[in-house]
Amino acid sequence: MSFVEYGDTIKDGDTAIVFLGHESMFPVKVQHGSVTQTKYGVIRHSTDLIGKKYGSKVTCSKGGWVFILHPTPELWTMNLPHRTQILYSTDISIITMMLELKPGSIVCESGTGSGSLSHALIRTVAPTGHLYTVEFHQQRAEKAREEFREHGVEHLVTVTNQDVCKNGFGVSNIADAVFLDIPSPWEAIGHAKSALKAEGGRICSFSPCIEQVQRTCLAMEESGFTEINTLEILLRVYNVRTVSLQIPDLGKAAEDNSSAGFDSSSPSHQGSSCANLQQGTVQFKSGVPLREVVGHTGYLTFATKS
């Protein structure tokens, strides 16, 4: 199993996603002899998982069922263990596009954190690219190395435990892109410039506060970066549902005109339309925004090395 290479069958040692519903899923490490508890009952790894195909419908001990999904960076973002605040797919998608990443790209990242963005970057630059990720916290760096090894992508990533603001990324003049998610990104702009290729490399800095953005933009300008711009991505989800609206009373003339517009030769049209008119309501498909919407996550500042 690898996050960048699809496998048909579930094997011992794989990381799989147990899907109970769109709002309920979790990762599990498949191990011979182990069991996993769900609200629908027990899943026995040896008999219920190992050897089955990804996407299979598995019946639990209480009679309920779940789906077992192959892991992807998107599913991992939704289910990973949080060691830090993470980036979600809304921001990750624009970062990948604006940094112009593709298979074979070399990317530097700081900090690694919980590895949400790291997995997406690795999938994008595979199979010939590489990610150099720097994490200040030693235990988080060690945990990231362990996860990359378990997920079959360790050959595509190098994890370094050091302070990027003091020691940089450990590489020079090879990166196609640099991403910064640290409290004081302006202190790492010089090291980012050194890591980027001679010309045309892209940089992105993620910051939750506008004061951080201001200082970062000044540091970028002083270091000779061009095309500096800042974005904020706000996601608004709509729930499509059927609503019943009351037919307005427009008078007898309007009723005659509207009745003349119906095709009396169609029995199905006659039945449904007349029923709605008699009841005084008509049904429409409507998009309604959710009551709770994810608001500000952070500002994304992009620039190009000239």
Same fold, 9-71 and 76-234+297-305: no
- Local confidence band at 291 (pLDDT 50, 70, 90 cut-offs): confident
Q: What are phi and psi of 22, to 5 degrees?
A: -60, -25
- Local confidence band at 249 (pLDDT 50, 70, 90 cut-offs): confident
Average predicted confidence (pLDDT) for the chain: 90
79-119 residue pLDDT tens = 999 999 999 999 999 999 999 999 999 999 999 999 999 99
Is residue 147 within 8 A of residue 154, CB to CB? The reply is no
Is residue 298 within 8 A of residue 113, CB to CB? The reply is no
Average pLDDT over residues 194-209: 96
Structure tokens belonging to residue 148: 């990359």
Q: What is the pLDDT of residue 296?
A: 87
Q: What is the pLDDT of residue 275?
A: 47
Q: What is the pLDDT of residue 278?
A: 47
Report which of residues 219 and 272 the model is more confident about: 219
CATH fold, domain 9-71, is Vcp-like ATPase; Chain A, domain 2 (3.10.330)
For residue 242, give Cα distances in angstroms to 100, 195, 256, 288: 41, 54, 27, 10
Whether pLDDT at 151 is above 50: yes
- Give residue 119's region: left, alpha or beta (phi > 0; psi -120 to 50): alpha
Residue 24 assigned ligand-binding role:
no
Residue 116 assigned ligand-binding role:
yes
Residue 117 assigned ligand-binding role:
yes
15-37 residue pLDDT tens = 999 999 988 999 999 999 999 99
Residue 104 assigned ligand-binding role:
no
- Could you name the CATH architecture of 76-234+297-305? 3-Layer(aba) Sandwich (3.40)
Whether pLDDT at 161 is above 50: yes
Residue 69 assigned ligand-binding role:
no
- The domain ranges of the chain are 9-71, 76-234+297-305
Q: What is the pLDDT of residue 224?
A: 96
Q: What are phi and psi of 187, to 5 degrees?
A: -75, -15
Q: How remote is the C-alpha of 271 from its chain's centroid?
A: 47
Structure tokens belonging to residue 283: 């049904």
Please list, residue by residue across 242-269, b when 16 or more beta carbons sit within 10 angstroms of its beta carbon and e when fewer do: eeeeeeeeeeeeeeeeeeeeeeeeeeee
- Local confidence band at 263 (pLDDT 50, 70, 90 cut-offs): low
What pTM was computed for the model?
0.84
